[in-house]
Structure formats: structure tokens, C-alpha cells
Structure 1
Amino acid sequence: MENIDIGKKVEKFRKAKGLSSRELAKLAEITPSMLSQIERGLANPSISTLKILAKCLDVPTFSFLLEEINTSHLVVRLNERKTMKVKELTYSLVSPDFTGNLATAIMEVPPMKSSSESPLAHKGEEVAYVLEGKIKVYLEEEVYVLEKGDSVKIPSHLKHKWDNPFEEKAVILFSVTPPVF
């Protein structure tokens, strides 16, 4: 909640609506100086004033309380990607981090390597897409060979394992919700 500036949001919505400070103050039945103080962060509006401002600006009241998002933190550059090695598998995080409801990563499985000894389950639901090579995926008791361009959905708590018995590395893009590792 530290990135919330109600006044800046009021000003942004006011300008987007094409209203002057005086016009909005009149519509909201507050003084122009009170609106100016709110917009400059010198006064905090009451909940009832926020509701009136929201109605005048035709926005939901909660929109004043949403944190600002620093969009530069949403971009992941190739050379800045976070990577980790688990055994001999490499995971490169495509999403910026594990916050939120979704994480996406690229898993590289070298030839003759597996993700685990036996199939494992976790609470996250996955969708995986083969970018390079081919790989065996174990889903409970079934085994499937996925090739470049193939994909698979793995429901939450379904035991699964990745195995690369082939001579070239396999590269798999996958998304997990909620993010679990």
C-alpha cells in the first residue's frame, strides 16, 4: 500500500474526464481548495468524499486505492533473466519473479537427464510447450513423447516427470499457476 497516491489518481481521472479542478469541486460539492489539497497530497479525503469523487469521475471507488505499478519491473531482458540450476536442469525465469498468480520459465533438460527419479505432484497447474528437441513426459501411469511445437496441460496435484532419453537437449517453456518451485 506504500505506492498509493490518492491525490494523483484523482487528478489523473479528473484530467482524463476533461474536467477542471473547479468543475470537479463543484460536482463533488467540495471547495476548490480542498480538491487542490487532495490532489497535491496535502489532505486525505474521507471515504464519503472518495465515493462522491468516484461517482463524479465515473470510476469505481476502489480504483483510488489500487497500488501504482512500476511497469519497468514487468520487463525481463534476455541478459537479465534469473536462472537457477537444479541438478543438471536449468530454469530461466521468463516472468519477472514469483509474485502474483502466474510464473513462466524455460526449462532445459540435457540429453539422458530427468527432472526427478519418479513422478512428483505439486499444487500448481502447468501448461508446457516444447521449444526445442523432444522429451518424454510421464503423467501418472501414462508416458507421452512431446516434440517441438507440442504442448501439455498438467492439472494440479497430477504426478508428472520430465525425461530426456534422447541425444539432444530439450527446451520447454512452461507456466505455472499459482507459482510453485
Structure 2
Amino acid sequence: MSTRPAFHTDTRKPDPPGGGATATRSTPGRAATDGEIDLGARIRTLRVANGATLRELASRAGVTESFLSQVERGVASPSIASVQRIARALDQSIAQLFAEPAAVGRVVRVADRRRVAYPGLGAVDEFLTHPTAGRLQVILSTIEPGGGTGDEAYTHESDEEVVLVLEGRLELWVGDEHHILQEGDTITHSSRQPHRNRNPGPGRTVVLFCSTPPSF
């Protein structure tokens, strides 16, 4: 008989408006390593290219100017929901936010994967598909114990998302449902439902996220 927890309503409160609770963490985000895209620097580059001030972009994204400044400088740790709001304010998806010049063909070599580290969230995403290639988006996510998408649930415009746990365990909230996924488990859900995740430990978690159409 299965001993997995039954579904229950998540009672934890989401991050408050204005940027996400991770902005108040005492540990600053680490700098991007070789092969990883610097989140704050990328946002600043796109903001400047769009001719927007910190105040203007913060207003569009629904975050505070001080929080956005901290994100750009790498000293705040935005939740995935906050990154998504900033990306949308720049008329980008998260994938487009970090897109490199278009590659020829559909093969993505290991060395050419776009790797995005989320400061303070303990997670690194590797994009296994080109952002504009086809109707499927595949992301390989490595999450450290206690890490995840942040306390605030988010949505995106994919019709369907499949989650496959390759290593470790994943705690996942989808709407009012709460799941503990073990290694080898999969779940399918609508990306339009509010969802978030975390690694409950004790070791790292490696997850494959597949969405159609691409929207993250």
C-alpha cells in the first residue's frame, strides 16, 4: 500500500506584492559561474536597451524600484514568479529573456545549453531546446536541498506541462493539490494553474520539465 501523503490544500502564504519575500534574505545571490547567464546583468541590459528607467520597469512589473535594483546588482533573490513578471514587463518569456542568437538546426550540444542560475533559490535551469524551435520546451533543473521556485506560485501560458523526477524528491503544489514526487515519478498538469516547487531534501533533486507550447 502506498504511504505517500494525500493531497491537501497548501496553507503557506505567498510572497507579498512588490518583489517576493526572497528580497529580504540575508544571504546575497552568488555570482554566475562560467557557462551560466547572469540574471541581474541580463535584466539590466534589456532594460537599458528598451530605454526604461528602474522606476518605469519596476512599475510595469509590479515590483518596487529598490527590489529591482537589488536584482540587477545580484544582491536580491527573486522568486520565479518575480522573474516572470519582470520578463513580461520586458515583453519576454523567461526563455526569451535568456535567449542567445539563434542557432542553426535543432541540435543542442551539451556545451551550448543555456544555463540560468537563480540567485538564492538554489536552482539552475538548463534549456534543452531552442526557445523558438517547435512546439515543445524542455528544461533540466537541478535543485539544491531547500531550493525551488520560491514561496509564490506562478503560472505561464503553456497548455500542458509534464514533470519527471530524475533524481531525489520534489515537493510540488498545483492549485490546491500538494504532491511529494519520488525519483522516477511523473505528473502532468496545466501550466495555467498556479504552481510552485521545492526540494525537501536531503540530497539534490534533478527534474525534467516539458511544456507545450513553449512559454516559460
Q: Deviations over 1:74-129 (max 9, x none)?
A: 11111221111123311101113344321111011110112121222222121110
Paired residue for 1:82, among 114, 120, 137? 114
Q: Could you say which structure has the larger radius of gyration?
A: 1
Q: Would you say the 8 A contact 2:131–2:214 is kept in 1?
A: no
Looking at structure 1, the residues matched to 108 and 138 of structure 2 have their Cα atoms a distance apart, in angstroms, of 11
- SS of equivalent to 1:114: coil
- SS of equivalent to 1:73: coil
Report the equivalent of 1:115. Answer: 149
**Structure 1: 5+ residue runs without aligned partners?**
1-70
Report the equivalent of 2:183. Answer: 148
Looking at structure 1, the residues matched to 104 and 132 of structure 2 have their Cα atoms a distance apart, in angstroms, of 16
Looking at structure 1, the residues matched to 150 and 132 of structure 2 have their Cα atoms a distance apart, in angstroms, of 22
Q: How many residues align?
A: 111
Report the equivalent of 1:103. Answer: 137
**Structure number having the greater strand percentage:** 1
Q: Deviations over 1:27-50 (max 9, x none)?
A: xxxxxxxxxxxxxxxxxxxxxxxx
Report the equivalent of 1:48. Answer: none
Paired residue for 2:163, among 128, 135, 141? 128
Paired residue for 2:196, among 161, 171, 174? 161
**Structure 2: 5+ residue runs without aligned partners?**
1-102
Q: Would you say the 8 A contact 2:170–2:197 is kept in 1?
A: yes
- SS of equivalent to 1:74: coil
Q: Which amino acid aligns with 2:105?
A: H
Q: Would you say the 8 A contact 1:127–1:153 is kept in 2?
A: yes
- SS of equivalent to 1:113: coil
TM-score calculated relative to the size of structure 2: 0.48
Structure 1 vs Structure 2 CA RMSD = 1.8
The reply on whether 1:174 has 2:206 as its aligned counterpart is: no
Tell me the percent identity: 27
Q: Which amino acid aligns with 2:171?
A: K
- SS of equivalent to 1:179: coil
Q: Would you say the 8 A contact 2:106–2:133 is kept in 1?
A: no
Q: Would you say the 8 A contact 1:73–1:96 is kept in 2?
A: no
Looking at structure 1, the residues matched to 192 and 145 of structure 2 have their Cα atoms a distance apart, in angstroms, of 27
